[in-house]
């Protein structure tokens, strides 16, 4: 489990992709805190450290992960958002984030707004129902609040701290990013959908 508060911006040192999947080596100061088998969120995807060497670690992404997330588009030299798994007893500063990406969104616009920046993202159709005004959403592993929403899109406002400490400041229209919907919204929809179907019958 994660909180969506990014702890470091790592750099992809190498990406070895074969027909079996991909192996990534990422440099980060967080490597010193990792042990083999530990979970770490990479751009919001919960992955497992399979090797730790000094100031870098290695992880693997299977084909399904590459197909359903934006990790398939990550390349050598790219910056990635990193967060270690939350420890029991720590403050939950963001919101409950599982590291299970629900889909890939596409940046439709980026606009400066005073010291902040507004980022509009087109969502996959199946995720629109989980977006609510002032609700939580995770983009590339970052816990954010939805400031506006429309027909198939959400907008978030990024403060300077977020722009500096995450790779969301690097995004431009057309870029793809990982989206994880609020887990509470998903549970509510799952529990209530049978009753909604009965009312429609």
Boundary-marking domain end, from 35, 51, 84: 84
CATH (domain of 124): 2.40.30.20
pLDDT of 121: 98
Q: What is the 3-state secondary structure (H, E, C) of the chain?
A: CECCCCCEEEEEEEEEEECCEEEEEEECHHHHHCCCCCEEEECCEEEEEEEEECCEEEEEEEHHHHHHCHHHHCCCCCEEEEEECCCCCCCCCCCCECCCCCEEEEEEEEEEECCEEEEEEECCHHHHHHCCCCCEEEECCEEEEEEEEECCEEEEEECHHHHHHCHHHHCCCCCEEEEEECHHHHHHHHHHHHHHHHHHC
Q: Is 19 within a domain?
A: yes
Mean pLDDT split into 10-residue runs, the chain, 201 residues: 95 94 97 96 97 96 94 94 89 86 97 97 95 96 96 97 96 97 86 69 54
pTM comes to 0.91
Q: Are residues 73 and 119 part of one domain?
A: no
Q: Is 94 within a domain?
A: no
Q: Are residues 182 and 153 part of one domain?
A: yes
Q: How many domains does the chain have?
A: 2
pLDDT of 192: 80
Domain that holds residue 40: 8-84
pLDDT of 8: 97
pLDDT of 9: 97
Q: Is 196 within a domain?
A: no
Q: Are residues 66 and 115 part of one domain?
A: no
Q: Is 92 within a domain?
A: no
Q: Is 156 within a domain?
A: yes
pLDDT of 107: 98
């Amino acid at each position: 489990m994660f909180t969506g508060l990014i702890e470091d911006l790592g750099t992809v040192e190498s990406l070895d992709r074969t027909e079996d999947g991909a192996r990534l080596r990422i440099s980060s100061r967080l490597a010193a805190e990792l042990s083999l088998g530990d979970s770490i969120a990479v751009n919001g995807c919960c992955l497992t450290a399979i090797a730790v060497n000094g100031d870098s670690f290695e992880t693997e992404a299977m084909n399904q992960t590459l197909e359903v997330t934006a990790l398939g588009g990550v390349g050598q030299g790219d910056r990635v958002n990193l967060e270690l798994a939350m420890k029991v007893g720590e403050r939950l500063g963001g919101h409950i984030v599982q590291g299970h990406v629900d889909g890939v969104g596409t940046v439709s616009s980026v606009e400066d707004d005073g010291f902040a920046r507004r980022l509009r993202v087109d969502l996959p159709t199946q995720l629109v129902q989980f977006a609510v005004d002032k609700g939580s959403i995770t983009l590339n592993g970052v816990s954010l609040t939805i400031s506006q929403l429309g027909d198939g899109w959400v907008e978030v406002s990024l403060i300077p701290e977020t722009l500096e400490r995450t790779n969301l400041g690097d995004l431009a229209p057309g870029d793809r990013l990982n989206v994880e919907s609020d887990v509470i919204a998903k549970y509510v929809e799952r529990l209530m959908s049978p009753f909604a179907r009965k009312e429609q019958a």
